[in-house]
Structure 1
Amino acid sequence: MRIFAATSRYVQGAGALDDLGRYCRPLGSHAFVITDADMAKLLGARVTASFETAEMASSLEVFPGEITHAAIAELAGRARDFGADMIVGLGGGKALDTAKGVALKLGARSVSVPTIASNDGPASAAIAVYDEHHIMQDILHLPRNPELVLADTQVIANAPVRFLRAGIGDAISKKFEAEACAAAGATTLLGTPASLTGLMAADACYQIIRQHAVAAVRAVEQKQVNDDLEALVEATVLLSTLSFENGGLSLAHALARGFSYLERARGTLHGDHVAYGLLVQLVMEKRSQDFILELCGFFREVGLPTRLADFGLEQPTATEIRELAEKSMVSPSAARFAPPVDADQLEVAIRQVEAITAAQN
Structure 2
Amino acid sequence: MSQIIFSPSKYIQGRGEITRLGVYCLQMGARGAYAIVDPYILSLYGQEISGGFASEHIPLLLREFRGECSLAQVEQIMAELDSGSMNVIVGIGGGKTLDTAKAVSHFAGLPVMLVPTVASTDAPCSALSVLYSESGEFDRYLPLRRSPDIVVADTAIIAKAPVRLLAAGMGDALSTYYEARACSRSGAVTSTGGTGTIAALALARTCLDTLLSDGEQALQDAGNGQATAAVEHVVEANIYLSGIGFESGGLAAAHAIHNGLTLLEECRTVLHGEKVAFATLAQLMLEGAAEDEISSVVDFCRLANLPVTLAELGLSAVDQDRLLAAAEASCTEGSPMANMPFTVSPQQVLEAILAADRRGASVF
TM range (shorter): over 0.9
Matching residue of 1:26: 27
Task: Measure how far apart 1:73 and its partner are.
Answer: 1.4
Matching residue of 2:5: 4
- CA distance in 2 between partners of 1:74 and 1:66 (Å): 12
Matching residue of 2:359: 356
- CA distance in 2 between partners of 1:316 and 1:219 (Å): 36
Task: Measure how far apart 1:173 and its partner are.
Answer: 0.9
- CA distance in 1 between partners of 2:136 and 2:172 (Å): 18
Residue by residue over 1:294-348, the C-alpha shift from the partner in whole angstroms, topping out at 9 and shown as x without a partner, is 3211111011111122222233322431232122234631211121212222111
Determine helix, strand or coil for the equivalent of 2:33: strand
Determine helix, strand or coil for the equivalent of 1:128: strand
Matching residue of 1:339: 342
Alignment of 1:195-274 (within 5 A): 195-274=197-276
Scaled by the length of structure 2, the TM-score of the pair is 0.94
AA of the residue aligned to 1:278:
T
Residue by residue over 1:245-267, the C-alpha shift from the partner in whole angstroms, topping out at 9 and shown as x without a partner, is 22111111112222322211122
AA of the residue aligned to 2:8:
T
Any conservation in 1 of the 2:31–2:85 contact (CA below 8 Å)? no
Alignment of 1:109-124 (within 5 A): 109-124=111-126
Alignment of 1:109-148 (within 5 A): 109-132=111-134, 134-148=136-150
- CA distance in 2 between partners of 1:246 and 1:30 (Å): 32
- CA distance in 2 between partners of 1:88 and 1:217 (Å): 29
Task: Measure how far apart 1:359 and its partner are.
Answer: 2.1
Task: Measure how far apart 1:134 and its partner are.
Answer: 4.4
Runs of 5+ consecutive residues of structure 2 not aligned to the other structure: none
Task: Measure how far apart 1:65 and its partner are.
Answer: 3.1
Task: Measure how far apart 1:172 and its partner are.
Answer: 1.4
Determine helix, strand or coil for the equivalent of 1:173: helix
AA of the residue aligned to 1:209:
L
- CA distance in 2 between partners of 1:3 and 1:62 (Å): 36
- CA distance in 2 between partners of 1:49 and 1:55 (Å): 10
Scaled by the length of structure 1, the TM-score of the pair is 0.95
Alignment of 1:92-107 (within 5 A): 92-107=94-109
Matching residue of 1:64: 66
- CA distance in 2 between partners of 1:163 and 1:111 (Å): 22
Task: Measure how far apart 1:221 and its partner are.
Answer: 0.4
- CA distance in 1 between partners of 2:348 and 2:135 (Å): 29
User: How many residues matched?
Assistant: 361
- CA distance in 1 between partners of 2:139 and 2:186 (Å): 26
- CA distance in 2 between partners of 1:57 and 1:230 (Å): 31
Residue by residue over 1:109-143, the C-alpha shift from the partner in whole angstroms, topping out at 9 and shown as x without a partner, is 11110000001111111111223454433222222
Determine helix, strand or coil for the equivalent of 2:130: strand
- CA distance in 1 between partners of 2:291 and 2:284 (Å): 9
- CA distance in 2 between partners of 1:304 and 1:208 (Å): 17
1:293 and 2:292 are equivalent in the alignment? no
Task: Measure how far apart 1:353 and its partner are.
Answer: 1.0
Residue by residue over 1:139-173, the C-alpha shift from the partner in whole angstroms, topping out at 9 and shown as x without a partner, is 22222111111100010001000110011011111
Q: Percent identity?
A: 35
Matching residue of 2:192: 190
AA of the residue aligned to 1:358:
A
Determine helix, strand or coil for the equivalent of 1:236: helix
AA of the residue aligned to 2:326:
L
Task: Measure how far apart 1:81 and its partner are.
Answer: 6.9
- CA distance in 1 between partners of 2:346 and 2:135 (Å): 24
Runs of 5+ consecutive residues of structure 1 not aligned to the other structure: none
Q: Which shows bigger deviation, 331-340 or 88-97?
A: 331-340
- CA distance in 2 between partners of 1:31 and 1:259 (Å): 39
